[in-house]
């Protein structure tokens, strides 16, 4: 009897080890430079979609129709080429010393920016006078908003100001905040560049060379796969994750997007592998969304053009930021679906899985949102832990711990089993 127990324990351990190794392989692949940050320069998101479709096919998890892909179009601002900022003789490092605003236009010129303090920026009359003086100046041709050290409340008041002024003249936004990037959908008339306060030199000549390209009707693709129940069933659990990220900022700098969301995409494939080997009494739908970072446009397109009827979706679990979990997970929409959230907590307590399963209310911060808007019950689950890299160049594969991967997947599988009884 003891030998049977030991062999069973060893078998479970080996299966778990194999799953984690596969998740690590997929995550590392998606983060590689060949995928260009899964954004829009060099069609990185399309490369990723081909990879995911091939992985589903390899697992034997088939598309709903003939193709795994659901295409849609949207507008994105990209930075495919030059990305230079030099102050005097010091060349700044993109992603570390500076970032170009996601909505910035491209430009190549010499800047002599006039420094504008927080106090002046908060005083509308003074600010207008300063901008007019720069526009009419023979000494200055741009402004440098010095917002370093500003409080969170002050920054909130001034958040939109640099972009607004970039409609009138070039803008440098000096900040002590953590750099975070995103995807732009339009272009400012003049360049807008964020520079870390420690790298900024005021009253020095600044050389910039930035290439930007606004792409209208860019084609992206959701990737969709499906496993029917062992016997015909009306119940369907949906697992989703967005595979896209921010892409490249110039030819040499890209955003790997390991935690956000190569990790969740890898977990999605891992769940597909599990259910293929362990058929269940309900249907399982897998959707890897494009365009989440561009404004959750991939999931919006899906709910407006569903390839699987929304009313047939029993519950949706959206997986994003799955690379850690030392401090547990947060569940968005927990307050909307209290019984289902209580079930997650019950499973977690019973099986002693995670440090905590934390409740959070509704938020339009990932792909679950549009499903909730279309009356599909959904959770967005993300991990909490010491890794705070988010929308920056340091969100790399090497920063991920995968420490709670097995416990999270156990909770997700058990939720589906109990919810569909």
In tens, the pLDDT along 361-401 reads 999 999 999 999 999 999 999 999 999 999 999 999 999 99
Average pLDDT of the segment spanning 140-151: 97
Give me 116's structure tokens. 């504008």
pLDDT for the residue numbered 11: 37
pLDDT for the residue numbered 19: 81
Residue 4 has pLDDT above 60, yes or no: no
pLDDT for the residue numbered 300: 98
pLDDT for the residue numbered 14: 36
What 8-state DSSP symbol labels residue 333? T
Average pLDDT of the segment spanning 104-122: 97
Residue 17 has pLDDT above 70, yes or no: no
Cα 98 to the chain's mean position, in Å?
Answer: 20
What 8-state DSSP symbol labels residue 312? G
Domains of the chain: which residue ranges? 22-77+215-419, 82-210
β-pair partners for 90: 87
199/218 Cα distance (integer angstroms): 35
Cα angle 115-250-32, degrees, rounded to a multiple of 5? 130
Cβ-count burial 46-85 (b if 16+ within 10 Å, e if not): bebbebbbebbeebebebeeeebbbebebbbbbbbeebeb
Cα 71 to the chain's mean position, in Å?
Answer: 19
**82-210 has CATH 3.40.50.300 classification:** no
Cα angle 401-255-196, degrees, rounded to a multiple of 5? 105
User: In sequence order, what E strands does 121-163 have?
Assistant: 142-146
Q: What percent of the chain has pLDDT over 70?
A: 96
313/307 Cα distance (integer angstroms): 12
pLDDT for the residue numbered 12: 40
164/13 Cα distance (integer angstroms): 56
Q: Which CATH superfamily is domain 22-77+215-419 in?
A: Zn peptidases (3.40.630.10)
Residue 419 has pLDDT above 70, yes or no: yes
């Amino acid at each position: 009897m003891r030998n049977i127990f030991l062999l069973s324990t060893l078998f479970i351990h080996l299966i778990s080890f194999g799953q984690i190794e596969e998740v690590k392989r997929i995550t590392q692949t998606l983060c590689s430079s060949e995928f260009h940050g899964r954004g829009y320069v060099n069609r990185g998101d399309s490369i990723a979609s081909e990879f995911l479709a091939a992985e589903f096919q390899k697992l034997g998890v088939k598309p709903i129709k003939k193709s795994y892909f659901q295409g849609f179009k949207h507008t994105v601002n990209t930075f495919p080429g030059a990305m230079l900022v030099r102050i005097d003789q010091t060349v700044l490092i993109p992603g570390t010393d500076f970032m170009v605003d996601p909505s910035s236009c491209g430009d190549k010129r010499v800047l002599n920016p006039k420094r504008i303090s927080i106090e002046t920026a908060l005083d509308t009359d003074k600010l207008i006078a300063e901008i007019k003086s720069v526009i009419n100046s023979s000494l200055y041709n741009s402004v440098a908003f010095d917002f370093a050290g500003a409080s969170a409340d002050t920054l909130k008041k001034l958040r939109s100001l640099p972009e607004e002024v970039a409609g009138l003249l070039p803008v440098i936004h000096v900040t002590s905040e953590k750099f975070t990037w995103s995807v732009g959908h339009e272009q400012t008339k003049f360049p807008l560049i964020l520079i870390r306060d420690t790298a900024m030199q005021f009253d020095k000549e600044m050389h910039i060379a930035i290439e930007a390209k606004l792409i209208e009707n860019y084609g992206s693709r959701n990737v969709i796969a499906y496993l029917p129940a062992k016997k015909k069933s009306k119940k369907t659990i949906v697992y989703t994750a967005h595979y896209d990220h921010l892409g490249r900022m110039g030819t040499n700098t890209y955003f790997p997007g390991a935690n956000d969301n190569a990790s969740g995409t890898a977990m999605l494939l891992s769940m597909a592998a599990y259910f293929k080997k362990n058929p269940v009494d309900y249907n399982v739908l897998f959707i890897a969304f494009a365009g989440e970072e561009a404004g959750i446009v991939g999931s919006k397109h899906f709910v407006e053009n569903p390839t699987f009827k929304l009313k047939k979706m029993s519950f949706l679990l959206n997986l994003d930021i799955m690379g850690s979990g030392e401090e547990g997970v947060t569940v968005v929409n927990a307050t909307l679906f209290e019984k289902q959230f209580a079930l997650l907590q019950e499973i977690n307590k019973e099986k002693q899985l995670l440090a905590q399963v934390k409740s959070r209310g509704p938020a339009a911060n990932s792909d679950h949102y549009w499903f909730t808007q279309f009356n599909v019950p959904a959770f967005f689950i993300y991990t909490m832990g010491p890794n705070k890299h988010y929308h920056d160049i340091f969100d790399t594969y090497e920063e991920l711990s995968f420490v709670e991967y097995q416990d999270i997947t156990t909770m997700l599988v058990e939720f589906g089993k109990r919810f569909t009884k």
